[in-house]
C-alpha cells in the first residue's frame, strides 16, 4: 500500500513538473523537482520527450543539480542527452559526476568529445577517470569509484572524525573507514558505528578490524556480487597486487551487476542473448536470435529423420502419430525445468557441496514425475481410445523413460559445460528441448515397434 501511495504521489509530482515547465514557472518547478528523490527526478526526466522542455530543465538547474539526474540515466540515454548540452554546461556536469559513472560514459563517446571534455575538467578528476577507463569491462576496476575515505592507521579517533567531516561531502560513503599504513596499503577497516563508540584518544590501529574482505582490480564482477552477498557488505575495497587501495565498489553498482548477470543468463537460457531489451529493434533482435534458431532447425532435422526411419511403424498404426507431440513436449518441459534448477545451483555454488547429490535428487524427481504421468495416461487413454490398453502402456512407458532421460540430460550437460569453464546458461532451454525431442522420439518408437504386434 505504501509503495502504491508513493507511486501515486510521484505521478502527481510529474504532472506538476510538466505544467510548471510549460508555464515557465521556474521557481515552482525547481521547488517541486528538488524535493523529489534523485531516482524520481531521473524517472520524470527520462519520460520527458519534448526537446524544448528538456532545454528549460538545463537552464533551470545548476550543473551539479542536473548531474545528480544525469548520472542515473542509462549510458545510452546519457550519450543522446549530452548532445543537447552546450560545451561549458556539459563540462560542469561531467565535473560534478562520480568518476566511475563518468568513465562508463566516456567509454562510449567518440575520442574527440572525450579529449574536449578532459581539457575542461579538473586535472585530478580527469586523471582518475582516464585511469578507470583502462580497466576491462566487467571487472572490479571498471566498477569501482575513487571517492572514498581512507585514513592512516596512526590517527587518533578524534583526528579521524575531523577528517571524516572534511571528506563527507566528497565520499560515496563514510559508513566504512579504510585504514592504510604509511605505504598506502590496506591494513584494516573501521565501521562508522565502531569509530563513534570508541575513546577519542585511541588510534585507528587499535580499533580496526584487520581481516578486510577485498578484491583485486581484475576480479570478475559476478564473483564480486557473490562476495558482497555472502558477507552482507554495502561497499567492498579494491586493491592492486601489492594491496594498495585503489577504490571501492558500492552496493548500488553490485545491484546493477546482479541485474546485468541475470539478464545475460536469461538471454542464454532462452537462446536470445543481447536481444531482451525493449529498446532493441526488431532487426537487431532477429539477428541475435536467428543463428540459434537456424542451428536448432538443423538439429531438428535429425528428429525428422528419426521419425522417417520408423515410417513403417507409423503406417501400420497411424494412431501412434497422435502422441508424438505429447511425448516430445513432456520430455522437453521436464528437461527445461531440470536445466533451470541446475543452472541456479551452479550460480549459487550449491553444486560444489555435492554434485552427485543434486543429480540423484533431480533424477529421482524426474522418474517420480514420470511414474505419475504414466499412471495418468494409463487411466485416460483407455477411456478415450476404446479400452486400448496396449496403446496406453506404450505411451505411458515412453513418457516414463523419456522424462527420466530428459532429467538426466538437463542435469549433466550444464554441469559438464561448467567444468569446461563455459557459462552453463549456454545449455539453453531451446537446445535442451531439441535434444530431448530426439531422445524421447527414439524411446517412443523403439517401445512402439517392440510392442507393435499387440496394437494390431
CATH number at residue 427: 1.10.357.20
Give percent of the chain with pLDDT exceeding 90: 36
Instruction: Note whether 50 and 199 are same-domain residues.
Output: no
Judge whether 241 lies within some domain. Answer: yes
Instruction: Note whether 422 and 297 are same-domain residues.
Output: yes
Among left, alpha and beta (phi > 0; psi -120 to 50; other), residue 404 is alpha
Q: What is the pLDDT of residues 50-103, one digit of tens each?
A: 999 999 999 999 999 999 999 999 888 999 998 899 888 988 898 888 888 898
First to last CA, the chain: 65
More confident residue, 4 or 251: 251
Which domain covers residue 56, as residue numbers? 2-137
Cα angle, residue 59 at apex, residues 54 and 64 outer, rounded to 5°: 100
User: In angstroms, rounded to a whole number, what is the distance separating the alpha carbons of residues 433 and 170?
Assistant: 53
Q: Where are the alpha helices (DSSP H) in 24-139?
A: 26-34, 38-46, 51-60, 63-70, 75-81, 87-96, 99-106, 111-120, 123-133
Q: Give me the mean pLDDT over the 16-45 stretch.
A: 92
Judge whether 277 lies within some domain. Answer: no
pLDDT band of residue 375 (cuts 50, 70, 90) is very high
As given in the structure block, the three cell numbers for residue 325 are: 507431440
Pairing of strands 245-250, 235-239: antiparallel
Instruction: Note whether 130 and 179 are same-domain residues.
Output: no
**Residue 84: DSSP 8-state:** G
Q: Is the pLDDT of residue 4 over 60?
A: no
More confident residue, 345 or 425: 345
Q: What is the pLDDT of residues 397-443, one digit of tens each?
A: 999 999 999 999 888 888 888 787 776 665 566 778 788 888 999 99
pLDDT band of residue 299 (cuts 50, 70, 90) is confident
Domain count along the chain: 3
CATH number of the domain residue 65 falls in? 1.25.60.10
As given in the structure block, the three cell numbers for residue 78 are: 546519457
Q: Is the pLDDT of residue 237 over 90?
A: yes
Q: Can you give the pLDDT at residue 264?
A: 65
Q: Is the pLDDT of residue 1 over 50?
A: no
Q: What is the pLDDT of residues 130-164, one digit of tens each?
A: 888 888 888 999 899 888 889 999 999 999 999 88
Instruction: Note whether 297 and 446 are same-domain residues.
Output: yes
More confident residue, 91 or 209: 209
Q: Can you give the pLDDT at residue 125?
A: 83
Instruction: Note whether 294 and 443 are same-domain residues.
Output: yes
Amino acid at each position: 500500500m505504501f509503495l502504491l501511495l508513493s507511486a501515486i504521489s510521484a505521478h502527481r509530482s510529474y504532472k506538476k513538473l510538466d505544467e510548471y515547465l510549460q508555464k515557465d514557472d521556474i521557481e515552482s518547478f525547481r521547488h517541486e523537482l528538488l524535493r523529489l528523490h534523485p531516482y524520481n527526478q531521473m524517472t520524470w526526466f527520462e519520460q520527458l520527450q519534448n526537446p524544448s522542455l528538456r532545454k528549460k530543465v538545463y537552464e533551470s538547474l545548476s550543473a551539479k543539480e542536473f548531474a545528480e539526474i544525469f548520472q542515473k540515466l542509462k549510458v545510452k540515454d546519457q550519450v543522446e542527452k549530452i548532445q543537447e548540452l552546450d560545451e561549458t554546461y556539459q563540462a560542469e556536469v561531467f565535473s560534478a559526476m562520480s568518476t566511475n559513472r563518468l568513465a562508463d560514459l566516456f567509454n562510449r563517446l567518440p575520442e574527440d568529445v572525450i579529449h574536449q571534455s578532459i581539457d575542461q575538467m579538473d586535472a585530478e578528476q580527469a586523471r582518475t577517470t582516464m585511469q578507470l577507463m583502462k580497466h576491462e569491462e566487467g571487472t572490479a576496476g571498471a566498477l569501482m569509484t575513487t571517492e572514498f575515505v581512507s585514513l592512516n592507521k596512526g590517527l587518533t579517533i578524534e583526528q579521524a572524525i575531523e577528517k571524516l567531516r572534511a571528506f563527507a561531502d566528497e565520499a560515496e560513503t563514510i559508513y566504512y573507514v579504510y585504514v592504510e599504513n604509511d605505504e598506502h596499503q590496506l591494513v584494516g577497516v573501521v565501521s562508522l558505528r565502531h569509530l563513534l563508540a570508541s575513546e577519542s584518544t585511541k588510534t585507528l590501529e587499535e580499533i580496526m578490524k584487520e581481516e578486510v574482505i577485498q578484491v583485486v582490480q581484475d576480479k570478475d564482477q559476478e564473483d564480486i556480487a557473490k562476495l558482497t552477498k555472502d558477507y552482507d557488505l554495502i561497499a567492498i575495497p579494491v586493491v592492486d597486487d601489492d594491496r594498495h587501495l585503489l577504490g571501492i565498489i558500492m552496493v548500488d553498482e553490485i545491484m546493477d551487476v546482479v541485474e546485468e548477470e541475470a539478464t545475460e543468463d536469461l538471454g542464454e537460457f532462452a537462446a536470445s542473448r543481447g536481444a531482451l531489451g525493449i529498446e532493441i529493434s526488431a532487426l537487431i533482435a532477429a539477428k541475435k536470435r536467428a543463428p540459434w534458431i537456424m542451428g536448432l532447425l538443423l538439429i531438428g532435422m535429425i528428429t525428422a529423420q528419426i521419425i522417417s526411419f520408423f515410417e513403417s511403424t507409423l503406417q501400420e498404426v497411424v494412431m501412434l502419430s497422435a502422441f508424438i507431440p505429447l511425448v516430445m513436449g513432456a520430455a522437453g518441459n521436464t528437461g527445461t525445468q531440470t536445466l533451470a534448477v541446475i543452472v541456479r545451483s551452479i550460480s549459487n555454488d550449491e553444486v560444489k557441496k555435492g554434485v552427485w547429490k543434486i543429480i540423484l535428487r533431480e533424477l529421482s524427481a524426474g522418474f517420480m514425475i514420470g511414474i505419475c504421468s504414466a499412471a495418468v495416461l494409463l487411466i485416460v487413454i483407455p477411456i478415450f481410445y476404446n479400452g486400448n490398453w496396449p496403446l496406453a502402456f506404450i505411451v505411458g512407458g515412453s513418457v516414463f523413460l523419456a522424462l527420466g532421460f530428459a532429467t538426466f540430460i538437463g542435469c549433466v550437460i550444464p554441469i559438464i559445460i561448467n567444468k569446461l569453464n563455459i557459462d552453463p546458461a549456454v545449455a539453453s532451454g531451446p537446445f535442451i528441448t531439441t535434444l530431448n525431442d530426439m531422445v524421447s522420439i527414439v524411446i517412443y518408437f523403439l517401445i512402439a515397434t517392440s510392442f507393435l504386434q499387440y496394437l494390431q
